[in-house]
Amino acid sequence: MTRWAMAIDLDRCTGCEACVVACHAENNIRLVGPEEAARGRAIHWLRIERYYEGEYPDVRVRFVPVLCQHCGAAPCEPVCPVYATYHTDEGLNAMVYNRCVGTRYCANNCPYSVRFFNWHAAPWPDPLQRQLNPDVAARPAGVMEKCTFCVQRIQRARQQAADEGRELRDGEVQPACAESCPTRAIVFGDLDDPDSRVARLSRSGRARRLLEELGTHPAVFYLARGARESSGEP
């Protein structure tokens, strides 16, 4: 069985936000203008959180890229009255736009604040629509959306492998954020394959999970800054 997971190495991340734009480009995330953005309606499936420690002149900053954690025990799932969000067999926290009726309970119950509501349908002034990714649905007004771990890329890679009559290889599926990352800080793969890079990184002494203490069992591992372990880390 496959269990999709991600590892993000905070010692490599420089907070450049290439991943944020890559996510928009891949996933047809709608354009939210300045007025809507000022009302808190901007949509970024992936964001870089910034934490200051200390005051001038002794300040340190930490960056944490935050996206849907595809929790094994996701708080968003049981509160959906119409089963629009559920867990797949492969560990993805799925979001089915067709079912969603926009109660927004899921966003309310997500401790990571990674779910977004479409207050309006997306405007794509001509010819901007020519860039849209045909593999990703354009969401209508009134539904929730969030990171899918680029499920369309998972499917594309799987079809490719099936056409060639073989299994998926480790590293073959790359979500848009991972592929764009200048420092290769994001690693994606199958946690159930003990030899995959993501599985090995998840066992590193530097690995942590976000708000793990809430019992959400996130599928995203963060590798703390600092020297890496001599053994075990790929």
Cα 129 to Cα 120: distance, rounded to the nearest angstrom = 16
Which residue, 29 or 199, has its beta carbon nearer to another protein?
A: 29
Nearest approach, Cβ of residue 144 and another protein (Å): 13
Which residue, 36 or 193, has its beta carbon nearer to another protein?
A: 36
> What is the distance of C-alpha 164 from the center of its chain?
28
Nearest approach, Cβ of residue 163 and another protein (Å): 7
Which residue, 79 or 214, has its beta carbon nearer to another protein?
A: 214
Nearest approach, Cβ of residue 33 and another protein (Å): 8
**Tokens 């993000």 found at:** 8
Cα 8 to Cα 218: distance, rounded to the nearest angstrom = 13
Nearest approach, Cβ of residue 23 and another protein (Å): 9
Cis status of the peptide bond prior to 34, with omega within 30 of 0: no
Q: In the numeric block, which tokens belong to residue 190?
A: 């199958």
Which residue, 196 or 221, has its beta carbon nearer to another protein?
A: 221
Collect all residues with Cβ–Cβ distance below 8 Å to 166 and sequence separation of at least 6: none
